[in-house]
Amino acid sequence: MAQLRLNLRGIGVLLVDRNHYYRALVAQMMAGFGVQHIRSCDSGATAMEYMKDNWVTLAIIEADLPDMAGSDLIRWIRREQKEPLRFVPIIVLSGYTQVRMLNEVRNAGANLVMQKPLSPKALFDRIGWLGRTKRAYIEASTYIGPDRRFRTILPPDNDYKRETDNLERISAASIAESTTQ
């Protein structure tokens, strides 16, 4: 069966991470996927400056930046920016020591959270999921961002779904695990 294709040419990716090598690593993955426009920033302030004047189609942001929390940058995007940047899909990357920040970034309006280290497969699938799954956005006084209740939302043809979307497989696996204990 022919694989689905994702056309990532022409999209503008903003990559914000304190570690220059990790930025290079993710940029290499994105280049492999066909992305041509990648802007790397090492801090929240430089990312804000860039977004004031530039087009961003996808933002990949580390949970903890040197000058601010990733959640502060996300809140700024969701509250201060005009459409379409206001609703730009945001993937948050979490290091091992940043797991406590994950609730904070979800509540700031992140679309997806991924734990480092990233594999090209996981990154490609998450981008595919973001790009092919309709998800409502909520605008309220205390929250602006994608609907956080999205466990059961799947892409139209079930391709590029997240591992956790396969509820049947997961429940079968957990049953098998519970019976062996």
Partner 1 sequence: MSIKKIHFPTIPLQEMIARQGGIARDQAIDAAMANVKSISGEGDQIIEVTIQALEALVAGVHGEALSPDQLREILVQADQIVTMAGTFGYGTLDKATRGLCDIADGLMHAGMGDVAPVAVHIRAMRLFSPFCAAPQADVSDHILDELAKVAAHYNFPSLDTEG
- In the complex, which residues of this chain contact partner 1 (CB under 8 A)? 2-11, 18-19, 21-22, 24-25, 28-34, 57-58, 83-84, 86-89, 95-100, 102-103, 116-118, 120-121, 123-125, 127-128, 130-132, 134-143, 147, 160
Q: For partner 1, give the closer residue by CB, 140 or 176.
A: 140
**Token digits of residue 80:** 């201060």
Cβ burial of 1 (10 Å; 0-12, 13-18, 19+) is exposed
Cα dihedral sign for 3, 88, 34, 15? negative
In whole angstroms, give the CA distance from residue 158 to residue 126: 13
Torsion of CA 158, 162, 168, 173, to 10 degrees: 150
Minimum distance, C-beta of residue 36 to partner 1, in the bound complex (Å)? 12
Q: Which is nearer to partner 1, 76 or 95 (CB)?
A: 95
To partner 1, the closest distance from the beta carbon of 168 in angstroms equals 22
Nearest approach in angstroms of CB 121 to partner 1 is 5
Task: Please say which residue, 68 or 132, places its beta carbon nearer to partner 1.
Answer: 132
